[in-house]
Amino acid sequence: MTKLLTFLGTGSYQESEVFIDDFRTKQKIFPLALVEFFKSQGKDLEVIFFLTRGAYETFQKEQVKEFCESRGISVKIVDISEDEKVADFVKKIIPRVQDGDEVILDVTHSFRMLPMMALIISLYLKELKQIQVKIIYGKYDRDIKTTRCTDITEMSETIDWIYGTKLFTNYGFATQLSELIKKQNEKYYKNNHKKNADRPTKLGILSDDLTKVSESIRLGSIQLIRNSLSKFFKDISDEKLKRDVSEFVPHFAPLFEKLVERYKAFHIENESLILNEEELKSEAELVKFYVQTGDYGMALRLAREYIKNVLLYKMGKHDEFLNISERESLPVKSNVLFDARNHFAHFGFNNLPVSPDKIRAALNDLIEKIENGNLDVFFNEFTPEKNLKAILTPLGTTQGALYTVLKNYNADLLVILTSEEGNKLVDEIVEKSEFRGEVRTIIIKDPFSGVTEIRDILSKAENYLENAREIIVNITGGTTFMTYIIERIRDRIRYGKSIKSVIAFDERPYDEQRKNPYVVGKILEIA
């Protein structure tokens, strides 16, 4: 429905010839000319008059209600005072407008601060209830006694630009600005059909570029960011685009240079991803951007990858930059940033909560280290003091599988999941295999279905393997349930570790294996 929100004053009105687009009529009161116009357009119209006590007398005297109702137009009256407060005006205007309404705000006969109040509230309604707001004013020429309807909706568009600027300045969102540029571009083509008319030619490109840059930053893909920024900076070097910004989107022109400078901080001219100091500097600036705009989730995700990239760079592994296996197995000492990243990367569906205060402090500490510019600080802080090689294995009531694993792989640490019965075999197997490392045993009371023991077992295994960077995971031996738990442990500790899963088997007859278990069998590496 079309809602005409309008006012009346207390003065006397003189008849004039009213022009609204190609429509003309004679009226003393401009809102009534609007009623005639919208009636001729076949609009489903409701007129809402905001009236003071004095204006209500004018309303009655000019028989405004009778005029509207005789034409089948519904009229509502809202009482206001001459010193109406904003909060009170909001309470009165909001219930009158519904989702999807087209709102025409006529400020011709309003007075004092009411036009400004009505304008601001209408813009609020535009966002709150997804309505279209058009603001008009009847400009009266006393000399020739004519009134021309003037569309002043552009005033509200300025506020849209202010909002878009605030979104970018405070939060780094450029999509609102992109949308406003797109609308401005479309308006020039829609309203100007002359063949040789001066119209923008590059605003559509700029709008698309800003959308892609903003989306890639919010999605958090370094490759998308590189590609979108490269296109953006290439396109804005075009003098025609700069001219279009200056001539056709003057609201955006003052912000344009600031936006360019902000993006330039983490832009690299070479689209290819190469691990060097320029790349690391760019990533550091992007971390700062995320923190400054309050996007802590994305800051955590990038901080983790940035630290890994620093370590890869200092270790000379430049070619392993995009190798997922190398990145996941890279030995990195865990801290608040890594724990928080793991928590939020899974949207909190785990038992690794970290307080927002600690996250902010850790990110600010990271930025301080970044600004000091010493990469050795990161290498020393995040490289583990120990780099142990470990074996993780189940053990049932036979010795052969574990013996074969220990004879095939050297390790500093052996972590065994076994039952009370299987634990009796550990010392003998260790002695026969001549294993010289540290041995840690985790006892499972019910090796067949001890579901309630899983959490405690996972915690112990994670603690024992904390400093292990290379792990051989044997999935042979013990019960099926024990193998399941070993796989759970492997999945839980896989980050920052190089993991290889193996199967040990003996091709000899079973009786022979029982009689002489200490024969080295075969190993099948499966991952």
Helices (H) and strands (E) in the chain, counts: 23, 14
Q: Tell me the three state secondary structure of residue 389.
A: strand
Q: How far apart are CA 167 and CA 452, in angstroms?
A: 50
Taking the C-alpha atoms of residue 216 and residue 270, their distance in angstroms, rounded to an integer, is 17
Distance of alpha carbon 89 from alpha carbon 81, whole angstroms: 10
Query: How far apart, in Å, do the first and last CA atoms of the chain sit?
Result: 65
Per-residue model confidence as pLDDT tens digits over 239-280? 999 999 999 998 898 899 999 999 999 999 877 889 999 999
Beta bridge partners of 391: 414, 472
pLDDT of amino acid 217: 95
Q: In terms of C-beta density within 10 A (0-12 exposed, 13-18 middle, 19 or more buried), how is residue 42 classed?
A: exposed
- CA neighbor of 284 nearest in space, from 378, 402, 144, 193: 378
DSSP code for 469: E
Supply the pLDDT for residue 193. 52
Give the 3-state secondary structure of residue 521.
coil
Residue whose C-alpha is closest to residue 3's, from 98, 72, 144, 77: 98
Spatial contact of 454 and 444, defined as CB atoms under 8 Å apart: no
CA–CA gap between residue 345 and residue 349 (Å, rounded): 9
| Separation CA 437–CA 423 (nearest Å) | 17
- Cβ-contact 475, 501 below 8 angstroms: yes
**Gap between the Cα atoms of 221 and 48, Å rounded:** 51
Q: Is the dihedral of CA 66, 67, 73, 74 positive or negative?
A: negative
Which pLDDT value is given to residue 117? 72
Nearest to 108 by CA among 51, 31, 44: 31
Question: Chain centroid to CA 273: how far?
Answer: 23
Retrieve residue 105's tokens: 């705000």
Alpha-carbon span 34 to 46, nearest angstrom: 11
What local confidence, expressed as pLDDT, does residue 192 receive? 63
Residue at token pair 């405070």: 170
- In this structure, the number of other CB atoms found within 10 A of the CB of residue 449 comes to 9
Q: What is the pLDDT of residue 195?
A: 55
Start-end of H helices in 94-153:
114-128
Q: Give me 398's structure tokens.
A: 């036979």
Helix axes 454-464, 480-493, angle to 10 degrees: 50
Contact 221, 292 (CB under 8 A): no
CA distance 286 to 315: 23
Other CB atoms within 10 A of residue 330 CB: 23
Residues 6+ apart with CB under 8 A from 496: 328, 329, 330, 331, 332, 334, 469
Pair of tokens at residue 25? 């009529």
Burial of 118 (C-beta count, 10 Å sphere; 0-12/13-18/19+): buried
Partners of 349 in the β-ladder: none
Pair of tokens at residue 33? 């000319």
Which pLDDT score, from 0 to 100, does residue 131 have? 77
Asked if 307 contacts 378 with a C-beta cutoff of 8 angstroms, the reply is yes
Secondary structure of 320-356 in HEC code, one letter for each residue: HCCCHHHHHHCCCCCCHHHHHHHHHHCCCCCCCCCCH
Q: Could you say which residues of the chain have pLDDT below 70?
A: 112-115, 118, 191-197
Please state the φ and ψ torsions of residue 256, each to the nearest 5 degrees.
-55, -50
Helix residue spans in 315-448 (DSSP H):
324-329, 336-345, 356-372, 375-382, 400-408, 420-423, 426-433
Q: Return the SS3 of 207.
A: helix
pLDDT of residue 244: 94
Specify the pLDDT at position 233. Answer: 95
